[in-house]
Amino acid sequence: MAKVFITGADGFTGRYLAKELMRDGHEVCGLARKEDPSAAWRMRVCDLLDREALTQTLAIEKPDAVVHLAAIAFVGHGDVGEVYQTNVVGTRNLLEALTKSGCKPQSVLLASSANVYGNTDREVIDESVKPEPANDYAISKLAMEFVARLWEGKLPITIARPFNYTGVGQSSHFLLPKIVSHFRDKAPVLELGNLHVIRDFSDVRTVVSAYSRLLTGKFAGRTFNVCSGVGYSLLDIIAIMRGLTVHHPEIRVNFDYVRANEVHKLIGSNNELRTAIGALQPIPLRETLRWMLEHPTET
């Protein structure tokens, strides 16, 4: 049993990871944006940009392992300054606070993003592909990775680059929850952006299982893609949803949703991850979408 400290413990991924770790017998605590009396794990309200409070919190908790999930995770987030402050400065503050507080964690897992790869001509992207970030979110995540290098000799840092993933409870401003809600509500029209972008989608439950296993190994200094290795276009997603619901909305392309710096194809290789932690047992996307369709709120 270990004490695991999660930043963003009240977020979409954080809630699933906390439950996964607790099922495995770990003690979980973490940072949250606000009080949540219903949480089954200990929450501490603290801003990543408050360096003193962050150091004090970690000095009290002294975790055995840390998972850093807190971030602005939406590519289309309107406040660019907030993206960089949270994703870059917030990460730096966390790493500084870990060393200043006297913590000696056995593992520090930082969640970056596959968006750092940008547009590439590689059919399947492995960790050897040179990052070419194409938007501010991706740049902030790559900058976070460079910041982490400053602490390589002081902390056992592992970096995860998750590709797209989804599940029950993800905010409706993300693409797949939006599509699922339209089909669930039998909406007559569904407006989307570029229908031909291709993404590698995983189930959030598969992703947190991978995170949990990365925490328990000796992977300091390494970077891992977390992905399914299978690509789907929006047209593929729509076809799956039509099969699940027998609903056929009119699909309209809204050019306001088409980003000038859109990454067109993002499919990952998980060979490094599987070699490190073993078989992933991914949940098929059709089953993830069915789960989301049948459970409008988190289960």
Tens digits of residue pLDDT in 182-210: 999 999 999 998 888 899 999 999 999 99
Amino acid occupying residue 15: R
Give counts: helices (H), strands (E), the chain: 10, 14
3-state DSSP call for residue 141? helix
Q: What is the mean pLDDT of the chain?
A: 93
Residues in the chain: 299
Annotate 251-277 with DSSP letters as a single string.
EEE-GGG--TT---EE-B--HHHHHHH
Q: What is the largest CA-CA distance in the chain?
A: 58
pTM of the complete model: 0.94
Amino acid code (one letter) for 61:
E
Residue 193: count other Cβ atoms within 10 Å of its Cβ: 17
Beta pairing class for 198-200 and 231-233 = antiparallel
267 φ/ψ angles, rounded to the nearest 5 degrees: -125, 130
Which overall architecture, per CATH, does domain 3-168+201-227+267-281 show? 3-Layer(aba) Sandwich (3.40)
Domains of the chain, residue spans:
3-168+201-227+267-281
Confidence of residue 244 (pLDDT cuts 50, 70, 90): very high
d(CA 136, CA 9): 24
- pLDDT tens string 32-80: 888 877 788 899 999 999 999 999 999 999 999 999 999 987 666 568 9
| Alpha-carbon 261 to chain mean position | 20
For 138-182, write each residue's pLDDT tens digit.
999 999 999 999 999 999 999 999 999 999 999 988 999 999 999
- Other Cβ atoms less than 10 A from the Cβ of 221: the count is 13
Which residue in the block uniquely carries the two structure tokens 């930043």?
Answer: 7
Q: How many CB atoms lie within 10 A of CB 214?
A: 22
